[in-house]
A and B are shown apart, each in its own frame.
Chain A
């Protein structure tokens, strides 16, 4: 007979031993693999929590500098306080692009100073945004678009990190797309813009109409239809469009939606039976996220896990129906 207490003790012992020192990499890996292995998970969990609750720590120097960073991230130290909904959008926006396209996109900068509430649109897998003026923006996977929910009079300004196809409604106000390196100004036109934050390359391909492209601290170039502007190693080159590739799939869009709604829709639309038992139902975070038709169930779960940091699993794929 194995008593529960004895059973737990060996798990506690492994964890204590592991935390108490440094070991060769292969041994540390073995313990880590063991920790995430599902076998005896409740015992491991109890043992970890026991260790956690017995830990004594003194506050170190890092806490203060980290607090500063975190306060900035959540907007506590910004001049204008941000509303909770937008903050949630921002954090989701930070999380998902990192998953999809790797390091490189961070929305840690302060939002631009506009009076109208800003929406952050991010897409893990590509999708289309309708802007308040009727213009539409098709964004490829991993892109992030920030735009006001209502344009102020006198300007239509959005910010992009990623690649997108813009179809701009003609209007009196200039339509401006800001990116890290280039600013594109148009009145009514179609163009593709590729400009990721943190990258040194960017490209504007003009399909219709005309645009002005401004490079920060440099000059402005005017493009005519069929031309593209390529920025590479700080050098700008304007030439005829060579090839035009733009992908944007069939989407499932969630804007500012709660997790239960997202999961229910995903279950219905994608035939997944998602195990929600580990999800905190009282949770009222809102997410804006987009799924296209071509992810695998695993990829969908991965996005959900990153979003919620909960351990979501699929019970079974109901593909028989």
Chain B
């Protein structure tokens, strides 16, 4: 399937041509679905939301503006749909009320994007090999010394040191672009 929808296809869709609708659908359905699922992390709901978006596109076809970017329009629909879904999920959980943004460092005034940084670090740590993640967690979050970790996990102290330095390297790699910014 070729990537883009032409202005002419949008015009035909606007005029109610259902073959143009099919074309738009087949071109973008999976992109929408993957994007929404990427945000909400629920395949089934993402499929349903994407279908609803196309229902809406058809119903509102007359208001389509062929001179505006069609993918931007799709993006807006997809974003609203996914973010609304999340809001509903967390409103139900009354989850949005508490906003824990643990500061990364004591002098958090310096860190403009503490929350973003924290998310990046958390995701990076979660993506580490299990042993490295465990060692990093024991060291940084539970304050254990390298010797204590080596004893607890029955591995050499050298391994502990290596794994910690690899963990720090992983995190630095993710943050590299911004570190200058924080210092």
Residues in chain A within 8 A of chain B (CB atoms): 2, 6-7, 9-11, 13-14, 17-19, 21-24, 27-37, 39, 45, 48-49, 51-53, 55, 57-60, 62-64, 66-67, 69-71, 73-74, 76, 84, 87-88, 91, 280, 282-285, 305-306, 309-311
Contacts and interface: CB of A to CB of B under 8 A. Distances in A.
A11 B117 CA distance: 9
Contacts, number: 168
Contacts of A31: 119, 123
Contacts of A76: 18, 21, 58
B40 interface: yes
B38 A19 contact: yes
25 contacts: A6-B178, A9-B178, A10-B177, A10-B178, A13-B177, A14-B119, A14-B120, A27-B122, A29-B95, A32-B86, A34-B116, A35-B86, A49-B75, A51-B35, A52-B71, A53-B75, A55-B34, A59-B27, A66-B25, A67-B29, A69-B51, A70-B58, A88-B59, A309-B77, A309-B80
A37 B56 contact: no
B32 to A, nearest CB: 9
A24 to B, nearest CB: 6
A285 B60 CA distance: 7
B59 to A, nearest CB: 5
A63 B26 contact: yes
B63 interface: yes
Nearest to B117: A10
Contacts of B80: 309-311
Contact of B65 (A63, A73, A282): A282
Nearest to A285: B60
B169 interface: no
Contact of B115 (A22, A34, A52): A34
A283 B63 contact: yes
Interface string B28-40: 0111011100111
B123 A57 contact: no
Contact of A66 (B35, B40, B51, B96): B51
B84 A70 contact: no
A2 B181 contact: yes
Interface of B: 1, 18, 21-22, 25-27, 29-31, 33-35, 38-41, 47, 50-51, 54-56, 58-60, 62-63, 65, 71-72, 75, 77-81, 83-84, 86-87, 89-90, 95-96, 99, 112-113, 115-117, 119-120, 122-124, 126-127, 174, 177-178, 181
B81 A59 contact: no
Contact of B71 (A2, A9, A53, A63): A53
User: 9 tightest CB-CB pairs across the interface, nearest first?
Assistant: A63-B29, A57-B31, A19-B38, A52-B75, A23-B126, A59-B1, A57-B30, A74-B58, A32-B86
Q: Which of A39, A52, A73 has the most CB of B within 10 A?
A: A52
A248 B56 CA distance: 31
Contacts of A6: 177-178, 181
A311 B50 CA distance: 18
B30 A36 contact: no
A18 to B, nearest CB: 7
A59 B106 CA distance: 48
Contacts of B63: 280, 282-285
A8 to B, nearest CB: 11
A94 to B, nearest CB: 9
A59 B71 CA distance: 16
Given A32-B86, A45-B79, A53-B75, A17 B35 contact: no
Contacts of A69: 51
Nearest to A75: B58
A88 B55 CA distance: 10
A301 B30 CA distance: 30
Given A34-B115, A284-B62, A91 B55 contact: yes
A20 to B, nearest CB: 9
B41 A28 contact: yes
Contact of B59 (A10, A17, A91): A91
Contacts of B29: 59, 62-63, 66-67
B30 A62 contact: yes
A74 B55 contact: yes
A10 to B, nearest CB: 5
Given A6-B181, A27-B123, 6 more contacts: A6-B177, A35-B39, A35-B83, A62-B47, A67-B22, A285-B60
A17 B177 CA distance: 14
Contacts of A39: 115
B41 to A, nearest CB: 6
A88 B57 CA distance: 11
